[in-house]
């Protein structure tokens, strides 16, 4: 997980918005911590290549169910950067997602 992603969720929470961050490589490396160093980018690409759309959709459905159970009336918005942009793109096509913001999609 990138520290910058967590900082965005912390910023949203500080402004009164509930935020949930999905660990995109939970199936291949549940405790993965990455930065923007070249070696981290290579490692991230390796895990990205091992992650399937079905795994991502499964995680998205689980996250949406979790959010819906806790915040039944809240509008759910998603955002993603780079590979997370691809995930956000998938998420906006799912029922129950109000809007999405995608930065620099990398598939």
Cβ partners under 8 Å of residue 99, min gap 6: 75, 77, 78, 92
pLDDT, tens digit, 9 for 90 and up, residues 24-57: 887 788 788 877 788 878 888 887 888 888 988 9
> What is the pTM for the complete model shown?
0.77
Q: Say if residue 87's pLDDT is above 80.
A: yes
Please give the residue that has the higher pLDDT: either 105 or 79: 79
Q: Say if residue 1's pLDDT is above 80.
A: no
């Amino acid at each position: 997980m990138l520290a910058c992603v967590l900082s965005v969720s912390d910023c949203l929470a500080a402004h009164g918005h509930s935020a949930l961050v999905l660990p995109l490589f939970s199936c291949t490396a549940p405790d993965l911590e990455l930065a923007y160093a070249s070696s981290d980018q290579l490692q991230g690409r390796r895990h990205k290549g091992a992650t399937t759309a079905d795994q991502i959709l499964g995680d998205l459905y689980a996250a949406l169910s979790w959010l819906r159970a806790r915040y039944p009336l809240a509008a759910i918005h998603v955002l993603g950067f780079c590979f997370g942009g691809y995930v956000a793109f998938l998420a906006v096509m799912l029922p129950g997602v109000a809007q999405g913001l995608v930065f620099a999609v990398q598939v």
